[in-house]
Structure 1
């Protein structure tokens, strides 16, 4: 039976709280649409990627901006993650408040307000790393943290022509490292990069060359004694090409002398779009990898209108689910039914989305459709779905709610 909350069940911002309980049924007790994480594939993905990193001699620092969900950060750290990667200082502050101690900012830190957040985090005990790709930014950081009497860990970012941030020339990397050695408040920890900006007719070859630049570069920094730590860090890897980066780190002669760090984020829930395709590429390149990642994130919503033959309108829109690619209709259930009682969605196709409506073109065979039927949708690029939700429901195989997790966007 659905809950009927009293006025006291709403917080100061009008958000519903405290009405769901462990064991509630997603198909009966949860207000839809709702973002859902499936327990079994999540556990599989956590273990799979941690084991992948370990077998390649690398640490794992998952990119937290994907989910901004502290409960997932904790699970990643409990599974053995070295730290959590973030994109902004407010994200770092949120992650640190929830227990993440080692924070890697895969981005340049500019502006004194952001530097002040970083200083507060370091004073509070955070092990913080930020990236740098210019003498001007380096000097700004040196002035701020030198005056504050704080040592800031930096990673020099290695970029590519036509990409986003990062130094394009390897000699510029060395020059910036030598400059860092002269500044107060700065501790050079190693090199950082992101292979997702490498493009061309042969991206695999291009990424392999880029990964080798990182390996050669961090060795060169160490040989010149420019890194302020015993085991310099070299880090890269998103969720599409992590196998190529991991292979370069494994085979690059880094073992025992350096700290290779992989940073995929989307792996934790995978997806039904671009990362499903990317994973197929990984498995085709690596015949030794078995099973691979499994999609764990879905959005459940209900049919709200059947206004004309061959058309269903679902109470789900761009405010609820990522739309890099059209969402995929995965399964259908009766409201109040059981997880095992699946109804056909063969031939169903999303043809249009608006803010809060999805248009589905139906085949002639779809004659058992009812208002209120519950659909499970898969999305492409999980980052663009997580950031639409204040909370997510963890469910078991029977679609019972196991836990409800807050996001911190």
Structure 2
């Protein structure tokens, strides 16, 4: 099913739905356009256009595969970052255990493209979604699905919705990252109550514990490690109490994109339990990385000998107005560029096939369809120039572009990534 579904992506027709693509490509299939190997800069692509670096994308995939293997971690990258089935499968080819997702719609996309292991890093109490999950589990013995539970009430709602299901739904108790954090049980006593509620059902099976260390208040290495230590201790205590009796392995999972070095360090100390332990890391932003938020907080900055991720996105926009010597405007704005954490950064200017650093050029503001540029004295910038922008926070970059060219360093477009948001 996955091969057929991915093949159908190549059969989709290029048209007005996909911004930035060459207008003269309308009517071609994505596969036909890919075969033309057009150049991003000279073969009709229109600004603004977002591109992924083919080389950097591959580098990031290989680096995290190596990292997970080195530290004895299974890896379920958070697919909600990209919602791109082609990237899901490339991550699986690079050793991923499965894909992490956040809401039922995303799971439906993953299943449509043949993903067999899904970790839903969220509570799931919607009856319609739970019944759909039960149907998928019944129809496909190879499908594995795990989701969070953080309340007795939630367990009761799940049990009611799953009445009559032929396979139990696997759940992990979510340990909250502290007072004022997001979801998750706040105390170990409450965790035990949730585990007992799961054990009292025939529709659910407790298989482990999980959480998200990125929500630790005032996160720093010491606070993050302290929370991860609590998570491991919770798994040990629940195991000693026999709460994983129906499981085949014990899942212990954490790991966003900011603190996976701490996850690796603490998970290395998980003691031997009554059954094998699946140490499951869930970092997702690595696949494209970024030029803002994650570049500042990546664990590879703290442990440089592990390697370095490379920003794979670049948004190309064109200077459309230069009203004063201190100001310019390009034709990409909030509809095109991630802006929830940091503004884009001007990196390069391209004119007549020549690129140079965007020295003295700064993005100061975004309107819906414009980026405001401040230009220092002597900054070379003219109407018609292309400006390459680095983006922050890949989680809100992919969702703005339903079909993204993947370009090699010389501009040759070798693939197109389809997203589903």
Pairwise same-fold verdict (TM > 0.5): yes
Alignment correspondent of 1:3: none
| Partner SS state of residue 397, structure 2 | helix
Alignment correspondent of 1:39: 54
Matches within 5 A, 1:160-199: 160-199=178-217
Matches within 5 A, 1:107-186: 107-125=122-140, 126-159=143-176, 160-186=178-204
- Aligned in 2, Cα 1:14/1:250: closer, same or farther, shift over 3 Å? closer
Q: Which structure 1 segments of 5+ residues have no match? A: 1-7
Contact 2:131–2:162 (CA under 8 A) maintained in structure 1? no
TM-score normalised by structure 2 residue count: 0.89
Deviating 4+ runs (over 6 angstroms) = 12-15
Alignment correspondent of 1:257: 276
Q: Which structure 2 segments of 5+ residues have no match? A: 1-11, 20-25
| Partner SS state of residue 103, structure 1 | strand
What's the offset of the Cα at 1:45?
0.8
Cα distance in 1, alignment partners of residues 315 and 271 from structure 2: 44
Offset from partner CA, 1:247-276 (integer Å, 9 cap, x none): 110122259831110000101111111111
Alignment correspondent of 2:394: 382
TM-score normalised by structure 1 residue count: 0.91
| C-alpha RMSD of the superposition | 2.0
The total of aligned residue pairs comes to 393
Contact 1:89–1:117 (CA under 8 A) maintained in structure 2? no
What's the offset of the Cα at 1:11?
5.5
- Aligned in 2, Cα 1:135/1:287: closer, same or farther, shift over 3 Å? same
Matches within 5 A, 1:7-406: 18=28, 20-22=33-35, 23-29=37-43, 30-125=45-140, 126-159=143-176, 160-200=178-218, 203-227=220-244, 228-253=246-271, 257-279=276-298, 282-283=299-300, 285-286=302-303, 288-290=305-307, 292-323=308-339, 324-334=341-351, 337=353, 341-367=354-380, 369-406=381-418
Cα distance in 2, alignment partners of residues 33 and 12 from structure 1: 14
Contact 2:347–2:357 (CA under 8 A) maintained in structure 1? no
Contact 1:236–1:261 (CA under 8 A) maintained in structure 2? yes
Contact 2:334–2:369 (CA under 8 A) maintained in structure 1? yes
What's the offset of the Cα at 1:203?
2.1
Cα distance in 2, alignment partners of residues 150 and 251 from structure 1: 33
Cα distance in 1, alignment partners of residues 285 and 269 from structure 2: 25
- Aligned in 2, Cα 1:301/1:254: closer, same or farther, shift over 3 Å? farther
